[in-house]
Amino acid sequence: MDALPGMMIMVTNYSHDIATAFLAVSGLTMWLISRQHFVSESPEQELFFIRIYKGITRIAKDSLYWILLAGVPRVVFYMEYEWSDVAGRLQIVAIVIKHVVMFTLVGAGLFFWSRLSRRVKVLKLKHNLIS
């Protein structure tokens, strides 16, 4: 039974990485879909776009929440489960660079997501979907 806590930490760490990938892919997917969608398209396409936006937004939000939640034990137990003696203190530099890149990507994603959400609000108003 002593291995169970360690296994749970490792599963949480891996799921943290998977959530990061989900967040990145959901942002990329919405960007690609939004590039193909024009407001003047058919009502069916506009309603489909709204549904896709809602579903992918849910995935992105849940991924971000899990990244934040699972990041706590990852930081707490990093030295015990992920530290590499071979890389030594240089891995700290790599981790800082990785997080700068990830925060930049998330910030850019939030910027484009807010622009896209304004387009979706216009479509919802057009189709009387805002309550």
- 82 falls within a domain: yes
Per-residue pLDDT of the chain (131 residues; tens, 9 = 90+): 589 999 999 999 999 999 988 998 888 888 888 777 665 678 888 888 889 899 999 999 999 999 999 999 999 999 998 889 998 999 999 999 988 998 888 888 888 888 888 888 988 999 998 75
Domain extent for 14: 3-126
CB 66 within 8 A of CB 19: yes
The CA-based diameter of the chain, rounded to the nearest angstrom, is 61
DSSP-assigned letters across all residues of 10-49:
HHHHHHHHHHHHHHHHHHHHHHHHHHH--TTS-HHHHHHH
- 131 falls within a domain: no
pLDDT of residue 102: 85
Report how many domains make up the chain: 1
Quote the pTM value. Answer: 0.82
- 38 falls within a domain: yes
> What is d(CA 15, CA 68) in angstroms, rounded to the nearest whole number?
12
